[in-house]
A and B are shown apart, each in its own frame.
Chain A
């Protein structure tokens, strides 16, 4: 039986919610942006009138103000966005239990077995209508036979549209689009493809898988199957996406990081938070990755495998090795992150190393747990590493306590 997959995308989600709560600014250009003083001053979302002035998500608030002096900027209200997101999922649940959220504002729904509510298109229209009347925001929905095309469909026409991509029309609808529209084709893949004369999704579909593999590795073949509509991954059930796959923290600092000492201070705070959260959940990690974003917003990440650990000191050792080997300070850094992946249960047993003194390791583990304890009783700032006092403003953030939203990954 042909699957019926919907992808529902709340249009300019944060901005739409703010627009609803500020009726006086309806129809005017508005945006949601971070705190200027703490330098999280970038555009997170914008509404249609703001979009028309050329404002882009991710640009600094002052840049946006130059393009549109009348721009009204609201601070993000995450608890409210979470509430809306929950309500939307509540509506989804009336039609199917196969819901895979993708961030706060997007989700895939498998409605193959929901025939009593109508066809995919009818359900999509009902969803849009209910989201509009019950929540006062709009959604665009893509209907297709796989997740990739459903997502493309929801991007094709917005706001408040249903787009159907079927086996009969995907060649006309999808193939003329640029490769960059496809999920997981980023700037660098797009460039590599373009250098080989592959500009559209159609050309990607008709390229030889062997060539694509040579260009992009195993991703190449995967993208080829995406383009041809062969993608057939299931819509994960709502609950199973709650399973933790990795634990990470990142921060945009109040000033650019210019030296290794700066970076070390910030990374240590992040590593401590990640380690502490690993311990809270009873995990050890076998992979440590860092992400670095320079002040011209170029972003990259590097990772390495490690012996299973949940100690800040060991995670930090890996972090140091990663940035020393991979970053040469061409530009100051604007934001950085640490992530622990390939998680295994704490109790699952561990190969002891011949070259590390296990007694010292266990002592360190106990020490870090005591620090966790002190912090949970007396607050995060009650006990800190001396090195983080070298630059107090830089290290004064609590990634664990302030951590609210986990964007969920596709795989």
Chain B
């Protein structure tokens, strides 16, 4: 599932965009502790293509995609 999210970003002097927080739909706010990789990639799971940020959020690792100016995450299917 493709879940578009609000993101608070830092626009750096170098021109890079660094996402800092992901705002979830229930109002909670997740700080991105580290970005370990930024690559162009497709998301087969949620259906999209853009820049993929590999983010460490607490102890979890999640992909955050920037696609045509919008941010989305791959929503985990509920088992």
Q: Which A residues are closer than 8 A to B by beta carbons?
A: 20-23, 26, 83-84, 87, 132-137
- Are B45 and A20 in contact (CB-based, < 8 A)? no
| Minimum Cβ distance to chain A for residue B54 (Å) | 13
CB within 8 Å for A23 and B42 given contacts A134-B49, A135-B49, A136-B49: no
- Are B40 and A134 in contact (CB-based, < 8 A)? yes
- Are B42 and A134 in contact (CB-based, < 8 A)? yes
- B76 contacts the other chain (Cβ, under 8 Å)? no
- B41 contacts the other chain (Cβ, under 8 Å)? yes
Main secondary structure of the interface of A (DSSP, over half): helix
| Minimum Cβ distance to chain B for residue A93 (Å) | 13
Main secondary structure of the interface of B (DSSP, over half): strand
Residues of A within 8 A of B46 (CB): 23
Residue among B40, B45, B49 with the highest chain A CB neighbour number at 10 A: B49
Q: Which residue of B lies closest to A21 (CB)?
A: B47
Q: Which residue of B lies closest to A24 (CB)?
A: B47
Q: Which residue of A lies closest to B74 (CB)?
A: A23
Residues of A within 8 A of B42 (CB): 20, 132-137
A23 vs B43: C-alpha distance when bound (angstroms): 10
In chain B, positions 27-48 with a C-beta closer than 8 Å to chain A are: 39-48
Residue among A84, A132, A133 with the highest chain B CB neighbour number at 10 A: A133
Contact of B44 among A23, A83, A84, A87 (CB under 8 A): A23
**B 52-79 binary contact with A (CB < 8 Å = 1; else 0):** 0000000000000000100000000000
A136 vs B48: C-alpha distance when bound (angstroms): 8
A126 vs B42: C-alpha distance when bound (angstroms): 16
A133 vs B42: C-alpha distance when bound (angstroms): 6
| Minimum Cβ distance to chain B for residue A54 (Å) | 27
Provide 18 A-B residue pairs closer than 8 Å at the C-beta atoms, listed in order of the A residue.
A20-B44, A20-B48, A20-B49, A23-B44, A23-B47, A26-B44, A83-B68, A84-B49, A87-B49, A132-B42, A133-B41, A134-B40, A134-B41, A134-B42, A135-B40, A135-B42, A135-B49, A136-B44
Q: Which residue of A lies closest to B40 (CB)?
A: A134
Residues of B within 8 A of A21 (CB): 47-48
Residues of B within 8 A of A23 (CB): 44-47
Residues of A within 8 A of B43 (CB): 136
Q: Which residue of B lies closest to A131 (CB)?
A: B42
Q: Which residue of B lies closest to A90 (CB)?
A: B40
A132 vs B43: C-alpha distance when bound (angstroms): 10
A137 vs B41: C-alpha distance when bound (angstroms): 11
| Minimum Cβ distance to chain A for residue B13 (Å) | 25
Q: Lowest 4 A-B CB distances belong to which pairs?
A: A136-B42, A23-B47, A134-B40, A21-B47
Residues of A within 8 A of B41 (CB): 133-134
For chain B, which range describes its interface: under 10, 10 to 19, 20 to 34, or 35 or more residues? 10 to 19
Residues of B within 8 A of A84 (CB): 49
Residue among A84, A87, A132, A134 with the highest chain B CB neighbour number at 10 A: A134
Given A23-B47, A133-B41, list of 17 further CB < 8 A pairs? A20-B42, A20-B47, A20-B48, A20-B49, A21-B47, A21-B48, A23-B44, A23-B45, A23-B46, A132-B42, A134-B39, A134-B40, A134-B42, A135-B40, A136-B43, A136-B44, A136-B49
A132 vs B42: C-alpha distance when bound (angstroms): 8
A136 vs B67: C-alpha distance when bound (angstroms): 13
Residues of A within 8 A of B44 (CB): 20, 23, 26, 136
Q: Which residue of B lies closest to A17 (CB)?
A: B49
A135 vs B52: C-alpha distance when bound (angstroms): 11
Residues of B within 8 A of A20 (CB): 42, 44, 47-49
Residues of A within 8 A of B40 (CB): 87, 134-135
A84 vs B40: C-alpha distance when bound (angstroms): 12
Residues of A within 8 A of B39 (CB): 134
Residues of B within 8 A of A137 (CB): 42
| Minimum Cβ distance to chain B for residue A301 (Å) | 38
A137 vs B42: C-alpha distance when bound (angstroms): 8
| Minimum Cβ distance to chain A for residue B57 (Å) | 23
Residues of B within 8 A of A136 (CB): 42-44, 49
Q: Which residue of A lies closest to B39 (CB)?
A: A134
Q: Which residue of A lies closest to B44 (CB)?
A: A136
A33 vs B60: C-alpha distance when bound (angstroms): 42
Q: Which residue of A lies closest to B1 (CB)?
A: A23
Residues of B within 8 A of A83 (CB): 68
| Minimum Cβ distance to chain A for residue B50 (Å) | 10
